[in-house]
Structure formats: C-alpha cells, structure tokens
Structure 1
Amino acid sequence: MLDDRDIQKLSDVFVTKAEHKELKDTTVRIAEMVTKHDIQLDRLEKKVENIETATKAILTAVDKISKSVDDLRHEYIAIKLQLDRHEKWIKEIAEKTGVALSPA
C-alpha cells in the first residue's frame, strides 16, 4: 500500500492541475508567437523575392546600357579616325591647289 511518504514522492514528480494549466497557457502563447513569426518570415521572404527580381531587372538594364555605351564608344572612335583622315585630305588638297585655309 501507499503511505504518506509515497504519495508525497508522487506529488513531487507529477505536475499539479495549476502547473499543467500554466504549462498549457505558456505553450499556447509560444505557439501564437511562432505563428506570428512565421507570417512575418513569409512576408520577408516575399520582399526578398521582389528585391531579387528588381535587382535582376536593374542588372539587365545596366548591361544593356553598358553595351550601348561601348557601341557608341567604338562608333565615336571610327568617326574620329574618319574625321582626322578627311582633315588630312583637305589640307593636302589645299596645299596642292594653293588655297590658304584659315585656322579654326
């Protein structure tokens, strides 16, 4: 049979109704906080996704602009070379025909 000491030992091991209710309430609060944090995490993940999409679009646009600038630079170099060649020809023609060119 159980005596008072055995019952006391069992009381020390098992939780009381009040302790059980307190643990249950704490567990519910923790579950609510976890749910709230999950929702916030989902929102953050969506924002990060949007930022990644925007970043990719910006990088694509910058690449296109960079290519256009590079193409224009090559075109400018070609035009500059052609202009230098034309100026040289004009000077040669002026010298051969005896026409004096005014300085620019």
Structure 2
Amino acid sequence: MEITDKTIEYVAALAKLELTQEEKEKAKTDLGSIIGYMATMNELDTEGIKPMSHVFPIHNVFREDVVENGPDRDALLENAPAKKDGCFMVPKTVE
C-alpha cells in the first residue's frame, strides 16, 4: 500500500491536525515504514500459535465480593467528639 499526500491529509483531518509540508513528508515516511513492517509480520507463520491479549499471563487479583457486616455502631461512635441517640452530633450548619 502506497501512502500518498491525500492519505496523510485524510489522517491529519481525522486527528484534527494541521501539518506543515515537512511534517507531511515525515508522516508519509513513518506510515510507510509501519505498513511495511505489518507486511513483514503478515509473512510470519502463526499456525498453531494461540491468540493472546497480553504477552504476560495475567490473572485476576481481585478478591471475591462478599457481603460482610461492618463494625457495630458503638465501635464506630467510640472516638466521636459528640454523640446523641447512637448518632454523631455535629454543629448546626443551616438555620
């Protein structure tokens, strides 16, 4: 696949970029190299290779979501500066 000026302008428009002529030439060279590398990759024999999403094996490290009762109300209120009827007592903020 040949990368043309029209292709570069199209990609630049999609990316909302304004490129100078020098930048367009560099982008044309870079994209040509990338396409060439992909052609090389397509020549490789991948028969018998399992598809993977990551090069390293990744395992879920999250714990199971288990519902547990938290600390009891008295334990939560132990360090409260002020409490009333089993609740935190705070200064009035609205009159």
The alignment's TM-score, normalised by the length of structure 1, stands at 0.29
The alignment's TM-score, normalised by the length of structure 2, stands at 0.31
| Bigger Rg over Cα | 1
- Higher relative CO (CA 8 A, sep ≥ 6), structure 1 or 2? 2
